């Protein structure tokens, strides 16, 4: 079977609204390698968009899922509960940053986690408004895309967004937006358009994902925490892409010295199985009445089993330290390439959540064309890369944290070749 044959079938069977980065159809995968239906082998620097942080088909995750599969696949926790749902909640309550009593609820997707965090914040505060940031990404459901600070492609053609959602600029030095300007924008919002006593929550990503892998400055996070404390606002950290060792800590918020009230998580939580959650202050999480939270598939037993194994692997294989080691090597290589590549204007990111941003050779304008050429040249050489950013001019690097050293070195050589080839077009 050929990729082109399957692609032709896809055109007649799948909605065009499901975007595709490649037309490579996977047949099997192991750790950081994927083989397609034609037998071609690829190095995966996407990891399912930061989902398989522990690698494709990790033996411990696979064994945990197999064991659970032999027991049962679904009862609906709200009908016939199971102990490992509770024990996973207990583990996360201890692991999520914040020196306070916590409770957790499990759902199925990251967007669903965000929706439930907003529901909980509104129930707790009795307030309707939510503040988010330009460039942020929080999902494709109506509240999720309303919170998302990027129009194309997420909001185009879908009509009116949810009410009482406000955006302020996210601080990005390379785009001329300082932390002070972001904080001033918040202050102006409170003065001109929105009484802070109407605000239920402020939601942010510690490192913006789809927006371009921009880390939130420490000053911004501390000041938001102080503002939320002053006005009784719930602070929500969206750790869906940053979570589970990707940034060099289990959760990115560990680096900031302050804690969010609620944390959303998904992606890397269950090693490829659909599982998401919201964890936060016990009194806030208890604001919703019985039946107000949950869902038929929320906390599916297979996902719960996989998540326990993922947490074990992260600890046993010291993947937080591994993320820092890999990220350091990648940034060193990118900085070396940058010396002869004026299009690269920035290399950034904590741990192994690293990005390179491309501008025109004069440095004055975003260069999505160059960025896409780099991605395409890498694909020709069997390296899977992802782009991101409001301007589409950022390459993000999301290989599994378990990638073997020799495969990582091979990928870096391909990356350098691809950047050079993209410049020569």
Position 201 scores a pLDDT of 98
Give the C-alpha separation, 377 to 422, whole Å.
Answer: 7
What topology is assigned to 3-54+318-424 in CATH?
A: 3.90.1150
Position 37 scores a pLDDT of 96
Which stretches does DSSP call E strand in 239-349?
262-265, 276-281, 344-348
Give the C-alpha separation, 300 to 274, whole Å.
Answer: 8
What topology is assigned to 61-316 in CATH?
A: 3.40.640
Express each pLDDT in 32-63 by its tens digit.
999 999 999 999 999 999 999 999 999 999 99
Position 224 scores a pLDDT of 98
Name the phi and psi angles at 61, rounded to 5. -70, -45
Position 425 scores a pLDDT of 80
**What are the residues facing 236 on neighbouring strands?**
203, 262
> Residue 243's Cα: distance from chain center in Å?
7
Show me where the domains of the chain are located: 3-54+318-424, 61-316
Name the phi and psi angles at 98, rounded to 5. 130, 120
The dihedral of CA 40, 41, 45, 46: what is its sign?
positive
Position 128 scores a pLDDT of 98
131: left (phi over 0), alpha (psi -120 to 50) or beta: beta
Q: In the structure encoding, which two tokens stand for residue 161, read together?
A: 């967004």
Is the whole model's pTM more than 0.85, yes or no?
yes
Query: Which contiguous run of DSSP H or E holds residue 357?
Result: strand 354-358
Q: Could you report the average pLDDT of every consecutive run of 10 residues in the chain (425 residues)?
A: 92 91 95 97 98 98 98 97 98 98 98 98 98 97 95 90 96 96 98 97 97 97 98 98 98 97 98 98 97 96 98 98 98 97 97 98 93 98 96 97 98 98 92
277: left (phi over 0), alpha (psi -120 to 50) or beta: beta
Residues carrying an active site annotation: 137, 238, 267
Q: How many CA atoms lie within 13 A of 393 on its CB side?
A: 21
Position 152 scores a pLDDT of 84
Express each pLDDT in 333-356 by its tens digit.
999 999 999 999 999 999 999 999
């Amino acid at each position: 079977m050929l990729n082109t044959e399957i692609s032709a079938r896809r055109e007649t069977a799948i909605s065009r609204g499901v975007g595709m980065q490649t037309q490579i159809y996977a047949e099997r995968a192991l750790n950081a390698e994927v083989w397609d239906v034609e037998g071609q082998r690829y190095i995966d620097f996407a990891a399912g968009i930061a989902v398989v942080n522990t690698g494709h088909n990790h033996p411990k995750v696979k064994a945990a899922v197999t064991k659970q599969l032999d027991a049962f696949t679904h009862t609906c926790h709200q009908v016939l509960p199971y102990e490992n749902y509770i024990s996973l909640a207990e583990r996360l309550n201890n692991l999520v940053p914040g020196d306070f009593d916590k409770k957790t609820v499990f759902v199925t997707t990251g967007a669903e986690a965000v929706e439930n965090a907003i529901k909980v914040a509104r129930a707790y505060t009795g307030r309707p408004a939510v503040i988010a940031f330009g460039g942020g990404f929080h999902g494709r459901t109506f509240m999720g895309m309303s919170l998302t600070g990027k129009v194309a492609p997420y909001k185009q053609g879908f009509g009116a967004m949810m009410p009482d959602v406000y955006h302020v600029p996210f601080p990005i030095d390379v785009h001329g937006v300082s932390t002070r300007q972001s904080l001033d924008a918040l202050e102006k919002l409170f003065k001109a358009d929105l009484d802070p006593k109407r605000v239920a929550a402020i939601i942010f990503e510690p490192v913006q994902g789809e927006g371009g892998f921009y880390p939130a400055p420490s000053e911004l996070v501390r000041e938001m925490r102080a503002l939320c404390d002053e006005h009784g606002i719930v602070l929500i950290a969206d750790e869906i892409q940053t979570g589970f060792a990707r940034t060099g800590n289990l959760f990115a918020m560990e680096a900031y010295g302050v804690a969010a009230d609620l944390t959303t998580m998904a992606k890397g939580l269950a090693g490829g199985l659909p599982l998401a959650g919201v964890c936060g202050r016990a009194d806030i999480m208890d604001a919703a009445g019985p039946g107000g939270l949950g869902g038929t598939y929320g906390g599916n037993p297979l996902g719960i089993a996989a998540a326990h194994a993922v947490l074990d692997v992260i600890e046993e294989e010291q993947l937080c330290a591994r993320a820092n080691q890999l990220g350091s090597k990648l940034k060193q290589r990118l900085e070396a390439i940058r010396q002869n590549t004026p299009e690269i204007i920035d290399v950034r990111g904590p741990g192994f959540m690293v990005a390179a941003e491309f501008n025109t050779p004069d440095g004055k304008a975003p260069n999505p064309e160059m960025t896409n050429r780099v991605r395409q040249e890498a694909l020709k050489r069997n390296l899977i890369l992802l782009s991101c950013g409001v301007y589409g001019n950022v390459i993000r690097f999301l290989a599994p944290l378990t990638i073997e050293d020799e495969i990582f070195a091979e990928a870096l050589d391909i990356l350098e070749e691809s950047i050079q080839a993209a410049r020569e077009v």
